[in-house]
Amino acid sequence: MAAFDTVIRNGTVATASDTFKADVAIKKGRIVAIGEAITDADETVDASGLLVLPGGIDSHVHISQPSGPGIVMADDFESATRAAAFGGNTFVMPYCLQEKGQPLRAALKDYHALADQACYVDHSFHLIIADPSDAVLGQELPALVADGYSSLKIFMTYEGLALSDYEILGVLQVARETGALVQIHAENYDAIRFLTDRLERAGKTAPYYHGKSRPIAVEREATHRAISLAELIDVPIVIVHVSNREAMEEIRRAQARGLKIHGETCPQYLVLTEEDMQDINKDGLNMEGAKYVCSPPPRDKASQEACWEGLQRGVFSLFSSDHCPFRYDDEAGKLTPKGRTSFRWVPNGIPGVETRLPILFSEGVSKGRITLNQFVALTATNHAKTYGLKGKGSIAIGYDADIALWDPQKTAKISQSGLHHGSDYTPYEGIEISGWPVATMLRGKFVVRDGQLTGAKGEGRYVTRGKPGAVA
């Protein structure tokens, strides 16, 4: 009997700190040896010329979330996790959205029912707290944190989701007492409402004006306020999907003052701009811009540079997709009857779980903006550490054999026809990529190999997480 189930031979392994040539041996789904000339295995995978990286962990994805009357997300757990696997990911953290008045466990039951037996990669859930009632804060949330639901997201904007500062402080207090980590969507709700009303009165209703309804000051102010509220409670937070310099600088200054503020940015803030929202569709209407409507909106070239700087300098420790897919040419997607009347009603969010890693690899590593080790940290290791995910996010002995094999020389153009998500478009159409994941392995078994799906749905498991930040 061979000593190992599989050995990945002759590849270049990269972790968050080191890059080295080594063979990686796998037994029972875990990495059990890293060394030279390992041969005693049932299966040998030749990784000559390839990078052996930890599978991507995407800690910010929205799947099957209710998004308003008549609107349906373009991905269910099956299609989203299949797309994730093709994009070199082995783990996703979608959201479990609490409806107003709904007990958190009831919401979780629904999401588990959707995800169980449907996933191609492993997953866990962040809780979205829409209704921080006394029962939720006093009993439900502490019990769930103890059960491994140790992270949550709260919103400073969106109708039905925005929490008041008083409510945010209440949630942060529970986080402090329980060790949960809170993600904050930082945009000023009242400012957005005011600007939206004013734009509509002026007849400025096309998707392009979505960006004008939430300019940088809206995000900067809320980021500053979120940090201040966290400082009052003395608790770490994550500011998610940061889009520009001013918000980035708020986080940098807070970090310099010793506050534990984590920052996250996303592909849309590196490669899209608000000009994309001006696009004209095939009927000569300016609705095409709806393809890029997300919040915060893509900004400008200077903001892109600021986001790169944030990644390079470690202000942002997390790079996630904020995958939130809708179909474009669809009444249940971007172009609802109401969405055609005003940007106010266009569902916010864009697909990106499959393209996150290639975009950062190509624009970041291949173009010399970040190192390969930074790439690994930003896309896998830091997500595991930040959110208390044990035994994942690195190539290390004892860790799950969640591995992506990358061909750093492979060039391709992003195109909807080559993607596996449920949307009918990609906002990244036509971007030239250099460096692609050519195989993805989940706990020692290939999910994707040579461009083919080799995994089966249901093989992706729910994983209980520990205390955020507590993973060595």
Q: Please report, as ranges, the residues that interact with ligand URP according to CB under 6 A.
A: 62, 185, 241, 294-295, 322, 324, 348-349
Report how far residue 72's alpha carbon sits from residue 30's, in angstroms, rounded to the nearest whole number. 37
Which C-beta is closer to ligand URP: that of 294 or that of 315? 294
Of 26 and 154, the one with the shorter C-beta distance to Zn ion is 154
C-beta closer to Zn ion: residue 378 or 405: 378
Which tokens hold the place of 245? 């310099």
**Angle 424-430-436 (CA atoms, 0-180°, nearest 5)?**
95
Between 54 and 325, name the residue whose CB sits nearer to ligand URP: 325
Residue 243 CB burial class (10 angstroms; 0-12, 13-18, ≥19): buried
Shortest Cβ distance from residue 140 to ligand URP (Å)? 23
CB of 322 to Zn ion, least distance (A): 4
By beta-carbon proximity to ligand URP, the closer residue of 326 and 399 is 326
Q: Please state the closest distance from residue 348 (CB atom) to ligand URP, in A.
A: 3
Binding partner of 462, given ligand URP, Zn ion, none, CB within 5-8 angstroms per partner class = Zn ion
Contacts of 400 (CB under 8 A, 6+ apart): 29, 30, 31, 90, 391, 392, 443
Least distance in angstroms from the C-beta of 240 to Zn ion: 6
* Selected range binding Zn ion among 21-29, 74-82, 108-116, 396-404, rule: CB under 5 A: 108-116
For the record, the structure tokens of 7 come out as: 């050995």
Query: In this complex, which beta carbon is closest to Zn ion, that of residue 158 or of residue 345?
Result: 158
β strands within 47-117, DSSP E: 51-54, 56-61, 89-97
Q: What is the CA radius of gyration of the chain?
A: 21
The nearest distance, CB 48 to Zn ion, in angstroms, is 38
Partner residues linked to 432 by β-bridges: 413
Q: Kindly tell me which residue out of 18, 46, 116, 159 binds Zn ion, with binding defined by CB under 5 A.
A: 116
Q: How far is the CB of 162 from ligand URP (least distance, A)?
A: 11
Helix, strand, coil percent content, the chain, rounded in steps of 5: 35, 25, 45
* DSSP-assigned letter for residue 22: E
Q: Least distance in Å: CB of 176 to ligand URP?
A: 24
How far apart, in whole angstroms, are the C-alpha atoms of residue 263 and residue 253?
12
Instruction: Compose the 161-190 pattern: x for residues touching Zn ion by CB under 5 A, - for all others.
Output: ------------------------x-----
Size of the site for Zn ion (CB under 5 A): 5
Nearer to ligand URP, 140 or 322 (CB): 322
For helices 216-233 and 245-256, the axis angle rounded to 10 degrees is 20
Nearer to ligand URP, 32 or 290 (CB): 290
- Considering CB distances under 5 to 8 angstroms, the limit depending on partner class, which of Zn ion, ligand URP, none binds residue 98? none
348 binds, among Zn ion, ligand URP, none (CB under 5 to 8 A by kind): ligand URP
Contacts 24+ apart (CB under 8 A), 450-453: 453/82, 453/85, 453/86, 453/120
Which residues does residue 122 pair with via DSSP β-bridges, in sequence order? 91
User: Could you give the CA distance from residue 429 to residue 311 in angstroms, rounded to a whole number?
Assistant: 24
Min dist CB 189 to ligand URP, Å, is 12
Q: Does 109 bind Zn ion (CB under 5 A)?
A: no
Residues 378-437, interacting with Zn ion (CB under 5 A): none
CA pair distance 111, 113, nearest whole angstrom:
5
Q: Which is nearer to ligand URP, 126 or 443 (CB)?
A: 126
Q: How far is it, in rounded angstroms, from Cα 177 to Cα 248?
A: 28
Contact 38/9 with Cβ under 8 angstroms?
A: yes
* Residue choice 75, 78, 322, 354 for contact with Zn ion (CB under 5 A): 322
Rounded CA-CA distance 303/321 in Å is: 17
User: CB atoms < 10 A from the CB of 391, how many?
Assistant: 15
Among residue numbers 453 through 472, which ones bind Zn ion (CB under 5 A)? 462
Q: For 72, how many CA atoms within 13 A lie in the half-sphere containing its CB?
A: 10
CA dihedral 271, 273, 277, 283 (to 10 degrees): -60
Which member of 112, 198, 257, 367 binds Zn ion (CB under 5 A)? 112
As measured in angstroms, the least distance from the Cβ of 289 to ligand URP is 14
294 interface partner picked from ligand URP, Zn ion, none, CB below 5 to 8 A per type: ligand URP
Smallest distance, Å, CB 174 to ligand URP?
Answer: 21
Considering beta carbons, is residue 68 or 391 the nearer one to ligand URP?
68
> How many angstroms separate the CA atoms of 181 and 179, rounded?
7
Which residues of this chain interact with Zn ion, rule CB under 5 A?
Answer: 112, 116, 185, 322, 462
